Amino acid sequence: MKKSIVIALLGAILLSSYTALPNQAAASATTAVQSETKGFIESGVNFRDKPSLSGRVIGFLKKGSEVIVLAESNPYFYKVKTQNGTIGYVSSADNYISVTASTDAPAAPGQSLPATVIYGVNLRNLPSTSGDVVAMLRQGTQLTILEKSNAYFYKVRTTDGKLGYVTTADKYLEIGGQAAAPAPVPVPSPAPAPEATPVSQQIEQVIQTGMKYLGTPYEYSSDRNTTATFDCSDFVRQAFKEAVNLVLPADSRGQGDWIKNKGTAVYSISSLKRGDLVFFMSYKGSSASAYAGIDKANERITHVAIYLGNGQLLHTYSTQSGGVKISKLEGSWVNRFLFGGSVIQ
């Protein structure tokens, strides 16, 4: 009799589990869909097994790849899942990945806001500094903000109907008033689009911005939120951020990886161009013999500079050297050279 009761009870438990589990699974699936966040790879990036540059590289995600962002592991890395189900970590820098919730939709017409360009700004084809510049919007240009695509970019429409993305930084836009209606398409031809800033001009803007900091004191691991002092990578990052609104990784090794992932790395000094970043290994001595037999492919980046052309570097590397300065690319700098590459193309 007891055996029959036990069997009956087990049957009831199994039946209730069988009917409950599908419902639980469905609820979990619903939650996952509601909270799912997609990431789009803007520039080829290493896929690592840990949320750190010291993590082992387990793959390489090409530009245009789509991933699911599972978590923000720390201020520098996202935990993501690829389309084939592999889980790992990628840099959270916005030049590598743009992130949007899958449930996001364009703002309804009634939610759009008018804006006026108060400082010339790039209009890009993606909500990221790695997006192509499709136009340079001049001061006074009227826009309609359609949505805030991420923390750094608005999706906007110009008065001639052009769609694109501009930075959310306050100094570029004045927001408010009545939403601007798109102007009718001119007949027989549309109004000419604003011209994009030439690459050569952007490079000169970066160099001129860097030059204004000549003499700024050197400080190892300087505060990235001030310009009172710089270390080498902080100086380079500030020049590009301030001049062309392009935010590079915070340290020289990250910047070196960024250049390699863009596919612009060159390994000959003669191939360097004005405005390129130049990377160096540790100082081992003043003579060429001190560097003989070294496999530079395995050397760690310890310094970065901006190449000015004509064998000159704009950089900062020690307190004793006087802070930000111009140096000749000669002597031990030549022996320490690892590679260089273009940031702006």
With a CB cutoff of 8 Å and minimum separation 6, the contacts of 35 are: none
> Do residue 43 and residue 95 come from a single domain?
yes
> Do residue 315 and residue 227 come from a single domain?
yes
Domain membership flag for residue 337: yes
Asked which of 101, 131, 149 is the last residue of a domain, the reply is 101
> Do residue 301 and residue 206 come from a single domain?
yes
CATH number, domain of 65, equals 2.30.30.40
Range of the domain at 89: 37-101
> Do residue 205 and residue 337 come from a single domain?
yes
How many whole angstroms separate alpha carbon 121 and alpha carbon 218? 31
> Do residue 55 and residue 154 come from a single domain?
no
Domain membership flag for residue 184: no
Query: Tokens in use for 19?
Result: 């009917």
pTM of this structure: 0.47
CATH number, domain of 332, equals 3.90.1720.10
Domain membership flag for residue 266: yes
**Is residue 164 within 8 Å of residue 139, measured between CB atoms?**
no
Q: Per-residue confidence at 322, pLDDT binned at 50, 70, 90?
A: very high
Range with the largest mean pLDDT of 102-116, 152-166, 200-214: 200-214
pLDDT digits (tens, 9 = 90+) for 2-31: 344 433 444 443 344 333 333 333 333 333
Q: Residue 280's pLDDT is what?
A: 97
Asked which of 101, 128, 151 is the last residue of a domain, the reply is 101
pLDDT digits (tens, 9 = 90+) for 128-148: 776 788 888 888 899 999 988
> Do residue 168 and residue 206 come from a single domain?
no
> Do residue 316 and residue 288 come from a single domain?
yes
> Do residue 170 and residue 257 come from a single domain?
no
Number of domain units in the chain: 3
Q: Residue 196's pLDDT is what?
A: 55
pLDDT digits (tens, 9 = 90+) for 55-82: 888 888 888 788 888 888 887 888 989 8
Q: Residue 102's pLDDT is what?
A: 41
Which stretch of 26-35, 159-168, 247-256 has the lowest confidence by average pLDDT? Answer: 26-35
Query: Tokens in use for 58?
Result: 């387990």
Domain membership flag for residue 189: no
**What count of Cα atoms within 13 Å lies in the side-chain half-sphere of residue 109?**
3
- The label of the residue with tokens 């109907």 reads 161
Domain membership flag for residue 185: no
> Do residue 170 and residue 279 come from a single domain?
no
Domain membership flag for residue 192: no
> Do residue 87 and residue 117 come from a single domain?
no
Asked which of 65, 81, 101 is the last residue of a domain, the reply is 101
Q: Per-residue confidence at 172, pLDDT binned at 50, 70, 90?
A: confident
> Do residue 323 and residue 252 come from a single domain?
yes
The 3-state secondary structure of the chain reads: CHHHHHHHHHHHHHHHHHHHHHHHHHHHHHHHHHHCEEEEECCCEEEECCCCCCCCEEEEECCCCEEEEEEEEECCEEEEECCCCCEEEEECCCCCEEEEECCCCCCCHHHCEEEEECCCEEEECCCCCCCCEEEEECCCCEEEEEEECCCCEEEEEECCCCEEEEECCCCCEEECCCCCCCCCCCCCCCCCCCCCCCHHHHHHHHHHHHHCCCCCCECCCCCCCCCCCECHHHHHHHHHHHHHCCCCCCCHHHHHHHHHHHCCEECCHHHCCCCCEEEECCCCCCCHHHHCCCCHHHCCCCEEEEEEECCEEEECCCCCCCCCEEEECCCHHHHHEEEEECCCC
Domain membership flag for residue 85: yes
Give the residues across from 241 on adjacent strands. none
> Do residue 132 and residue 48 come from a single domain?
no
